[in-house]
């Protein structure tokens, strides 16, 4: 390959996260307000054909990995059809899905047949009442059914995303770690990020992830750092000695991983976001069909991508070099 997607800091980008909708069937407290969200009308969302065309162009510049996100991607009709379309593009090697799992159990086999490689399932509490509180109405048993069905149809590894929040679910760290001991599951603890709401509510709930390793020490669990877990991304991965599964720490605030960032984001309404946190966006919809123009817009986006996102500065109320996004996580795609 002669030309790759490289930014001004020499980072090669081979990974595209594609939001297929800004809508969601839940209202998780860290992602979306309970009410008052204005959603994009259907006609403003990229069509499956438009998404395919963007990916086809980027595959020619070295993009190999895709992740479908939302909102909740499974509220988009006929999503397995998009998976099938993307899996047929030469050069695409890995298509993953991040989902809250509510609609996944009875569709997991369909996604597998369409060419989906992996699933990440968001699950911030194992307790029914607390899960309903965090998600504002979700049923944890439906998510657990999705986990079981994903294992049955052969997705591997199964990753469970847990956003840790002080005073809300930190007392379940042991339960999630025990799950990795008992089953071949990968739990990834994620720091609460100030995406779209840099306020005292976020700061009061923020919890650094060294808390997880401290809990292992308290329980007397011997922890080993592990090598790559397939598709691990920014996670620092560990296992408890003798465990069947693994756990990972994703700490964008306390120990950001920006220097090795290899990902770009495409929002549901067609905007390229070179960085999750900053406000910079470049809408690609108007040039789809012109391969060179699509590529040049992605290179333009890479040209303004900063070295890091400075979320730690936000935590300390320090000045920042760029303007943070006002979009909520559900509007960006994470």
- Model confidence pLDDT, tens digit, residues 233-254: 678 899 999 999 999 998 766 5
Cβ atoms 310, 321 nearer than 8 A: yes
- 15-332 CATH pick, 2.40.10.10, 3.20.20.70, 1.10.240.10, 3.40.630.30: 3.20.20.70
Residue 23 vs residues 26, 30, 87, 191, 197: alpha-carbon distances, Å: 9, 15, 24, 23, 18
Is 298 a residue whose pLDDT tops 60?
A: yes
Residues 6+ apart with CB under 8 A from 175: 126
Model confidence at 334, pLDDT cuts 50, 70, 90, reads: low
Angle between helix 210-219 and 173-182 (nearest 10): 70
Cβ atoms 207, 164 nearer than 8 A: yes
Distance CA 17, CA 5 (A): 15
pTM of the model: 0.89
Which residues, in sequence order, are bridge partners of residue 283? 271
With residues binned 3-state (H G I as helix, E B as strand, rest as coil), the percentages for the chain, rounded to 5, are 35, 20, 50
Look at 229 and 279; give whichever has higher pLDDT. 279
Distance CA 149, CA 102 (A): 12
Distance CA 263, CA 196 (A): 20
If you compute the radius of gyration of the chain from its CA atoms, what whole number of angstroms results? Answer: 19
Per-residue pLDDT at 139: 98
Per-residue pLDDT at 5: 96
Cβ atoms 302, 15 nearer than 8 A: no
Look at 159 and 281; give whichever has higher pLDDT. 159
Distance CA 82, CA 80 (A): 5
84-98 residue pLDDT tens: 999 999 999 999 999
Residues 6+ apart with CB under 8 A from 146: 99, 101, 102, 104, 105, 108, 121
Cβ atoms 91, 154 nearer than 8 A: no
Mean pLDDT score of the chain: 88
Is 32 a residue whose pLDDT tops 90?
A: no
Per-residue pLDDT at 320: 56
94-130 residue pLDDT tens: 999 999 999 999 999 999 999 999 999 999 999 999 9
Cβ atoms 30, 329 nearer than 8 A: yes
Backbone angles phi, psi at 140, to 5 degrees: -65, -25
Distance CA 321, CA 334 (A): 21
Question: How would you class 131 by CB atoms within 10 Å of its CB: exposed for 0-12, middle for 13-18, buried for 19 or more?
Answer: buried
Look at 36 and 136; give whichever has higher pLDDT. 136
41-97 residue pLDDT tens: 999 999 999 999 999 999 999 999 999 999 999 999 999 999 999 999 999 999 999
């Amino acid at each position: 390959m002669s030309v790759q997607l490289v930014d001004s800091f020499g980072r090669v980008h081979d990974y595209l996260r594609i939001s297929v909708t800004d809508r969601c069937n839940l209202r998780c407290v860290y992602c979306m307000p309970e009410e008052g969200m204005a959603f994009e009308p259907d006609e403003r969302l990229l069509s499956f054909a438009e998404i395919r065309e963007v990916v086809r162009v980027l595959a020619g510049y070295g993009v190999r990995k895709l992740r479908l996100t939302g909102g909740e991607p499974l509220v988009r009709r006929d999503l397995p059809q998009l998976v099938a379309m993307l899996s047929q593009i030469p050069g695409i090697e890995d298509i993953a899905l991040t989902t809250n799992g509510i609609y996944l159990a009875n569709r997991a086999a369909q996604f597998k047949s369409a060419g989906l490689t992996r699933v990440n399932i968001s699950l911030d509490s194992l307790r029914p009442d607390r899960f309903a509180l965090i998600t504002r109405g979700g049923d944890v048993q439906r998510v657990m059914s999705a986990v079981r069905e994903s294992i049955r149809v052969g997705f591997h590894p199964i990753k469970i995303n847990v956003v840790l929040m002080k005073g809300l679910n930190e007392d379940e760290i042991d339960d999630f770690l025990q799950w990795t001991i008992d089953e071949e599951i990968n739990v990834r603890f994620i720091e609460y990020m100030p995406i779209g709401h840099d306020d005292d509510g976020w700061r009061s709930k923020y919890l650094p992830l060294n808390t997880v390793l401290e809990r292992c020490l308290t329980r007397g669990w011997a922890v080993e750092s592990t090598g790559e877990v397939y598709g691990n991304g920014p996670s620092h991965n560990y296992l408890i000695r003798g465990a069947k599964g693994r756990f990972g720490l994703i700490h964008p605030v306390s120990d950001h991983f920006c220097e090795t960032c290899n990902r770009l984001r495409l929002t549901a309404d067609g905007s390229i976001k070179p960085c999750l946190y900053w406000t910079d966006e470049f809408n690609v919809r108007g040039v789809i069909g012109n391969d060179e123009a699509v590529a040049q817009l992605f290179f333009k986006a890479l040209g303004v991508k900063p070295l890091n996102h400075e979320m730690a500065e936000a935590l300390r109320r320090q000045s920042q070099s760029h303007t943070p996004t006002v979009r909520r996580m559900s509007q960006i795609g994470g």
